Amino acid sequence: KRQDGAVAMEMQPLKSAEGGDTADGPGTRPRGGPKKEKSVLQAKLTQLAVQIGKAGLAMSAITVIILVLYFVIETFVVQGRPWVAECAPVYVQYWVKFFIIGVTVLVVAVPEGLPLAVTISLAYSVK
């Protein structure tokens, strides 16, 4: 319809990705839509978070290895105790305890490292 030389808008269904019908039909996603690009700060933060996760994993593995080696050397070399089959459940209990300590180190390292990653990445972005 024309009014004063301009085209009047009529109510029509939406033809966009925000909730209405699309050009391909209902329920389909638009092809070739723009991807969200990460900012420099987000990229640095992601990189630091991955590095902190890897470092936490390495430290927890090193912790478990050191605890197991310390237990084995202290028990069987320094104290000179022989391996007794009846004591195997006690030895396994110690090793499980060491594994739990390693998991605890990993669980604490990652969340504590994320605020550090944010602080470091903000310091880099300010420079």
Q: Retrieve residue 3's tokens.
A: 């009014």
C-beta of residue 101 within 8 angstroms of C-beta of residue 67: yes
Q: Which amino acid is at 53?
A: G
List the chain domain ranges: 40-125
Q: Which amino acid is at 94?
A: Y
- List, for residues 69-106, the tens digit of each pLDDT value: 999 999 999 998 898 889 899 999 999 999 999 998 88
**Measured between alpha carbons, how far is 81 from 76 in angstroms, rounded to an integer?**
5
Residue with the bigger pLDDT between 32 and 51: it is 51
Taking the model in full, what pTM does it have? 0.59
**Measured between alpha carbons, how far is 99 from 87 in angstroms, rounded to an integer?**
19
